[in-house]
Amino acid sequence: MDRTGILDEALERLHRTGPERLGRLSNHAPMAVEALASHGQAGGVHRWLDRYAPKLEEFPSGTAPVTASDWREALGDPRRLADWIAFFGREVAERPWRDVLGQWWPRLLPGMYGGSTHPVIRAGHAVRTLLSGEETGPRLGELAQGLGYWAARHRPVTGLGVLPAGTAGAAGADTADAALDAVPPLTERTGGFPDRLARVTAVPAWADGVTDPQTARRRLAELVRAATHRYATHGHGEETMLVHAATAPNAVLRTLPALPESLWLPSLRAAWVASAAVTAMYAPDTAVPWSPPGDIAPEEIVQRALAHGDEHVIKLTDTALDVGDERALAAALRCVELSEPLT
């Protein structure tokens, strides 16, 4: 983790901007700079931010304070973005951040699909920073930003169940790889994330029999690995959105050490639904062979992602390095190849 102070400077710079732009698109900069700093690229953070700056908008205005007595009314209301961020800012200033996270995680988890899963991803990056280094003001503030964004974009998935018996893929695959392969694609793949998500009515069963928290953690890591590997062969279906099939469950995995073990099982299940839903919405009908990355060091792959500049390339590279094997690194390079560079 960066100990130069550059990450904190970048977060302070970004906290003057809003978590979204153009009405719904996410500000990816806090996640990207955390990923870069975590992989030894803090020296390039401000230059990257200068390139990304045209995408940033001013921090939104507040409406009315969110309180402990009326928070349910404000949950899922994007007009309350500033109010929610201010609420969590007060919470992490007055209480240990792990206590805040443990209280709100089960409240927010059912709605992790809002904001195209970006809020939970942003929260996961913030938690990794806090677990890895000092609990500075900007890092606590970033957790407040992520949780506030999540609360404002909270969107439960209703009516989504396990595929009925007799349906292809319904039996429940043993491995995460097989389970993702069994996800039925949407017949109508048009529109944005919210429209497509509304058409996902069922996903295959996977890891339903897990009852032990440590097993849940291992299966979640298996899901992250499988989704990252799958990008190497299926990323061409939608080079940007399919990144989230891996990065959303990885955000949950990163958060587990800061949560009570009683929350690990529901976290696994929510992460599986998110990854499966993204797969259903965007995966192509056919796979392509993946190419081994050859003799290339992980550090060079991070440098390539930074030079390319696209925020999703940086974030998938970050997750691929967590997985760390040959096919994961190939997925990161495939994302570089498929994505438009940041200009």
Distance of alpha carbon 181 from alpha carbon 280, whole angstroms: 10
The structure's pTM equals 0.95
pLDDT digits (tens, 9 = 90+) for 144-166: 999 999 999 999 887 666 554 44
Q: Which amino acid is at 255?
A: T
Q: How is residue 188 written in tokens?
A: 């109508």
pLDDT at position 170 over 60: no
Distance of alpha carbon 20 from alpha carbon 234, whole angstroms: 28
Which residue from 114, 124, 179, 184 is spatially nearest to 152, judged by alpha carbons? 114
Element holding 280 (H helix, E strand): helix 264-282
Q: What is the pLDDT of residue 166?
A: 42
pLDDT at position 201 over 90: no
pLDDT digits (tens, 9 = 90+) for 203-245: 988 998 899 999 999 999 999 999 999 999 999 999 999 999 9
Q: Which amino acid is at 244?
A: H
β-strand partners of 44: none
Which residue from 105, 140, 123, 101 is spatially nearest to 31, judged by alpha carbons? 123
pLDDT digits (tens, 9 = 90+) for 288-336: 999 999 999 999 999 999 999 999 999 999 999 999 999 999 999 999 9
Q: What is the pLDDT of residue 310?
A: 98
Our measurement of the distance from residue 172's CA atom to the centroid of its chain's CA atoms, rounded to an integer in Å, reads 25
Cβ of 82: how many Cβ atoms within 10 Å?
18
Pairing of strands 25-26, 20-21: antiparallel
Which residue from 24, 4, 12, 316 is spatially nearest to 142, judged by alpha carbons? 12
β-strand partners of 21: 25
pLDDT digits (tens, 9 = 90+) for 63-78: 999 999 999 999 999 9
The domain segmentation of the chain, as residue ranges, is 6-152, 158-343
Distance of alpha carbon 58 from alpha carbon 78, whole angstroms: 15
Phi, psi of 183 (to 5 degrees): -65, 125
